[in-house]
């Protein structure tokens, strides 16, 4: 048997797939940047740990609103709200590790470096 597969996609379909993939990565990078900015704001303000029930309530509220508005333009707003809440609650955790441990700043810096390196390697591979 001959198991040769031929690519039957037209050029316009390939261009459309590439455009969707590019827009997806742009949205992912901007939400990640917004989450990082919100964690930096909460870290620099010295916000303490937020009540877990408030955190979960805000998380599920923004997740629910993102799901309900997934096919509307306001869904983008709710995605940014969701990542902003998650970034804001990450600030106290970073504050704890940076200030409580003797090498806390090195741990946070190395983890950011390794995560961004890992994402760069696997984004450029053909496995995605």
DSSP string of 92-112?
HHHHHHHHHSTTHHHHHHHHH
Mean pLDDT, to the nearest integer, of 11-19?
A: 74
In the chain, DSSP assigns E strands to none
Q: Which has the minimum average pLDDT: 20-29, 82-91, 111-120?
A: 111-120
Coarse DSSP helix, strand, coil percentages of the chain, rounded to the nearest 5 percent: 75, 0, 25
Match 């997806």 to its residue by tokens.
Answer: 24
Residue 98, token pair as written in the block = 């940076």
Q: What is the pLDDT of residue 83?
A: 95
Between the alpha carbon of residue 10 and those of residues 3, 14, 15, 17, the distances in Å are 21, 6, 9, 11
Angle at 59 between CA 50 and CA 51, to 5 degrees: 20
What are the residue boundaries of the structural domains of the chain, listed by start?
12-119
pTM of the model: 0.72
At residue 127, φ and ψ (nearest 5 deg) are -80, -10
Tens digits of residue pLDDT in 94-116: 888 888 888 877 877 777 777 77
């Amino acid at each position: 048997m001959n198991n040769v597969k031929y690519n039957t996609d037209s050029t316009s379909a390939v261009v459309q797939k590439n455009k969707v993939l590019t827009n997806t990565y742009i949205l992912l990078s901007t939400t990640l940047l917004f989450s990082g900015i919100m964690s930096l704001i909460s870290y620099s303000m010295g916000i303490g740990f937020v009540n877990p029930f408030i955190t979960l309530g805000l998380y599920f509220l923004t997740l629910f609103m993102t799901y309900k508005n997934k096919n509307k333009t306001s869904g983008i707003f709710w995605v940014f709200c969701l990542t902003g809440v998650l970034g804001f609650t990450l600030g106290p955790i970073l504050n704890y590790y940076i200030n409580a441990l003797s090498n806390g700043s090195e741990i946070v810096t190395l983890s950011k470096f390794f995560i961004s390196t890992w994402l760069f390697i696997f984004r450029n591979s053909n496995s995605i």
